[in-house]
């Protein structure tokens, strides 16, 4: 009777460290273990239940998974947690030649995290990425991968930066996107399922150069230029002025004449203070880019 009272206590002690993990069941029958081969993940447990009419006792003499259950009477159970990956043979001490195989896979670790200090940049601007691996280990190689949206609509993947983790498992990487790009990091030495981070999308706007050339009465001449990885010759921008309601009103549509030399255009402005900018609309930016906007120039007439 005392032996039966100790059995539940022993089972609880063996299960407690991994109570959060999965548990699979094996029946012990007159024919043997059912199933007689099972695959689990490190940290998971197996519960053997005696479904026979006579006593049984599962035991293991394997390194990293050594145990001997109490003698299980019909209906009684025993649970053991497998903490180390490997392949283990389980036998029944009370039944000759009855055995089963337990295959324990490595437990996957959480995927690395990845965040960006900017989700939108002007062409030529840098983005800094930070992240952390699930298990704090110094010296792990981290590779930043970029999937760039090309002008023809296809995507091209390449490695753009590398670093290693510090003692806390953290890392920092920086790069300059040339067009809309989806970034991930891959950590060397981790299982494939947990080696790749979440994806971070960074959008890119063309760089719009804009300056005041001269003022003659109410006529003001500006120069403007759009720059990205694609040419903008023949595409147009809008010269805009902000009205009293805070709305940007287009004053003139200007066709860009050169990739390297700024295009000039003149507009008439009212007396007083005007706020003027250049807008490269979405219809003109090209695949892989978002609407481009210049700095605002204050003009007093």
pLDDT per position as a tens digit, 188-225: 988 777 899 999 999 999 999 999 999 999 999 999 99
Q: How high is the mean pLDDT of the chain?
A: 90
pLDDT band per the 50, 70, 90 thresholds, residue 41: confident
The per-residue pLDDT for 44 is 87
For residue 74, which of 98, 40, 51, 42 has the smallest C-alpha distance? 51
HEC letters along the chain: CHHHHHHHHHHHHHHHHHCCCCEEEEEEECCEEECCEEEEECCCEEEEEECCCCCECEEEEECCEEEECCCECCCCEEEEECCCCEEEEEEECCCCCCEEEEEEECCCCCCCEEEECCCEEECCCCEEEEEECCCCCCCCEEEEEEEEECCCCCEEEEEEEEEECCCCCEEEEEECCCCCEEEEEEECCCCHHHCECCCEEEEEECEEEEEEEEEECCEEEEEEEEECCCCCCCCEEEEEEECCCCCEEEEEEEECCCCCCCEEEEEECCCCEEEEEEEECHHHHCCCCCCEECCCEEEEC
Backbone Cα Rg of the chain: 34
8 A C-beta contact, residue 212 and residue 220: yes
Query: What's the topology of domain 2-105?
Result: Immunoglobulin-like (2.60.40)
The per-residue pLDDT for 20 is 40
Angle at 215 between CA 213 and CA 221, to 5 degrees: 45
Distance separating alpha carbons of residues 27 and 33, to the nearest angstrom: 6
pLDDT band per the 50, 70, 90 thresholds, residue 21: low
8 A C-beta contact, residue 281 and residue 238: yes
pTM of the model: 0.67
Mean per-residue pLDDT, 237-249? 96
The per-residue pLDDT for 134 is 86
pLDDT tens-place string over residues 71-85: 999 999 999 999 889
The per-residue pLDDT for 8 is 36
Stronger pLDDT, 154 or 23, i.e. the higher one: 154
Token pair for residue 190?
């981790």
8 A C-beta contact, residue 93 and residue 59: yes
The per-residue pLDDT for 9 is 32
Domain 113-205 bears CATH identifier 3.40.190.10 = no
pLDDT tens-place string over residues 124-151: 999 999 999 988 889 999 999 999 999 9
CATH class of 207-300: mainly beta
Mean per-residue pLDDT, 58-67? 92
The domains of the chain are located at 2-105, 113-205, 207-300
For residue 186, which of 196, 194, 176, 178 has the smallest C-alpha distance? 196
| The domains spanning 113-205 and 207-300 adopt the same CATH topology | no
């Amino acid at each position: 009777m005392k032996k039966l009272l100790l059995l539940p206590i022993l089972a609880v002690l063996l299960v407690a460290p991994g109570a959060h993990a999965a548990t699979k069941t094996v029946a012990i029958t007159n024919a043997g273990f059912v199933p007689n081969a099972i695959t689990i993940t490190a940290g998971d447990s197996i519960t053997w239940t005696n479904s026979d009419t006579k006593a049984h006792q599962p035991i293991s003499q394997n390194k990293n998974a050594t145990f001997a259950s109490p003698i299980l009477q019909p209906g009684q159970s025993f649970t053991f947690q497998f903490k180390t990956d490997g392949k283990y043979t389980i036998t029944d001490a009370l039944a000759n030649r009855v055995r089963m195989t337990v295959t324990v896979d490595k437990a996957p670790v959480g995927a690395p995290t990845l965040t960006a200090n900017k989700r939108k940049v002007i062409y030529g601007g840098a983005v800094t990425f930070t992240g952390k691996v699930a298990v704090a280990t110094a010296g792990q190689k981290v590779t930043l991968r970029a999937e760039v949206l090309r002008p023809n609509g296809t995507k091209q993947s390449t490695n753009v930066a590398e670093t290693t983790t510090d003692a806390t498992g953290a890392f920092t990487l920086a790069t300059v996107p040339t067009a809309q790009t989806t970034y991930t990091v891959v950590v060397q030495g981790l299982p494939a399922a947990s080696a790749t981070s979440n994806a971070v999308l960074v959008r890119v706007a063309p760089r719009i150069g804009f300056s005041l050339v001269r003022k003659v009465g109410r006529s003001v001449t500006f120069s403007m230029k759009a720059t990205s990885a694609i040419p903008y010759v023949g595409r147009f921008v809008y010269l805009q002025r902000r009205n009293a309601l805070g709305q940007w009103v287009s004053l003139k549509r200007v066709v860009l004449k050169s990739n390297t030399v700024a295009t000039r255009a003149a507009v008439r402005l009212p007396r007083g203070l005007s706020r003027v900018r250049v807008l490269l609309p979405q219809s003109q930016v090209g695949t892989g880019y978002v609407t481009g906007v210049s700095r605002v120039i204050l003009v007093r007439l």
